[in-house]
């Protein structure tokens, strides 16, 4: 299981990806830092800069270095959807999510359902099984990443594998000790 600080880093970086505009001129690191802070991720401008450089190696991001301060945005025609680029206007696919959730997330989901028709089945040995229909989009992946220490996705396999790949890439970035 990832450490608490790794989960916070993943959540912060995911929020950063969601904040990036899809067109030129983009947003400066200072603007992104302020937006992250407003979203509950207090960090430094330098951390934002490092995160963007790391994320640009994994996602189709573009840095506008023609003016100061530099600005960042998604490459033209790209946006985030489970880590893959898609064309704008593409409707997300609906999937039936199956997952084990811990006690804390179980109690949260009881009062804040993930979707209509969501089912939670409490297990005698702790936690619960979650079954719900959701859009297979970046919002789902962002939510799953933010709950990385409290959820174990069982299906669909495509969502499970995409989540594992995001977690592996993020941990690889942080295991370098830089």
Domains, in order of start, for the chain: 4-85 (1.10.10), 93-174 (3.30.70.240)
Q: How confident is the model at residue 3 (pLDDT cuts 50, 70, 90)?
A: low
pLDDT of residue 64: 78
pTM of the model: 0.51
Neighbours of 161 (CB within 10 A): 12
Residue with tokens 């969501």: 118
Burial profile 76-98: b = 16 or more Cβ within 10 angstroms, e = fewer: eebbbbbeeebeeeeeeeebebb
Q: What is the per-residue pLDDT across 12-70, written as a single tens digit (0 to 9) for each? A: 888 888 888 877 778 889 889 988 888 888 899 999 999 998 888 878 888 877 777 88
What are the beta bridge partners of residue 101? 128, 151
Kindly tell me if the per-residue pLDDT of 178 is higher than 70.
no
Q: How confident is the model at residue 137 (pLDDT cuts 50, 70, 90)?
A: confident
pLDDT of residue 47: 93
pLDDT of residue 177: 57
Counted residue by residue, the chain has a size of 178
pLDDT of residue 83: 45
pLDDT of residue 119: 94
pLDDT of residue 84: 45
Rounded to whole angstroms, how far apart are CA atoms 144 and 152? Answer: 9
pLDDT of residue 87: 45
Q: What is the per-residue pLDDT across 73-125, written as a single tens digit (0 to 9) for each? A: 887 766 665 444 444 555 668 889 999 999 999 998 888 888 778 999 999 99
Q: Which two tokens stand for residue 27?
A: 């947003």
More confident: 109 or 138: 109
* Alpha-carbon 149 to chain mean position: 13
Give the single-character DSSP code of 32: H
Q: How confident is the model at residue 128 (pLDDT cuts 50, 70, 90)?
A: very high
Segments in the chain forming alpha helices (H)? 4-19, 29-38, 45-56, 103-111, 138-146, 157-174
């Amino acid at each position: 299981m990832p450490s608490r600080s790794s989960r916070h880093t993943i959540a912060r970086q995911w929020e950063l990806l969601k904040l990036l505009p899809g067109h030129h001129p983009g947003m400066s690191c200072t603007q992104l830092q302020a937006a992250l802070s407003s979203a509950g991720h207090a960090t430094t401008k330098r951390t934002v800069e490092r995160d963007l450089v790391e994320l640009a190696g994994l996602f189709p991001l573009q840095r506008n270095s023609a003016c100061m301060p530099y600005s960042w945005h998604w490459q033209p025609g790209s946006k985030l959807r489970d880590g893959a680029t898609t064309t704008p206007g593409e409707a997300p696919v609906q999937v039936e999510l199956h997952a084990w959730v811990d006690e804390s997330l179980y109690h949260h989901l009881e009062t804040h359902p993930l979707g209509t028709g969501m089912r939670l089945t409490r297990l005698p040995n702790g936690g619960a099984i979650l079954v719900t229909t959701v859009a297979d989009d970046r919002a789902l992946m962002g939510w799953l990443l933010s709950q990385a220490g409290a959820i174990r996705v069982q299906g669909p396999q495509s969502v499970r594998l995409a989540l594992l790949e995001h977690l592996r890439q993020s941990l690889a970035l942080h295991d370098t000790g830089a």
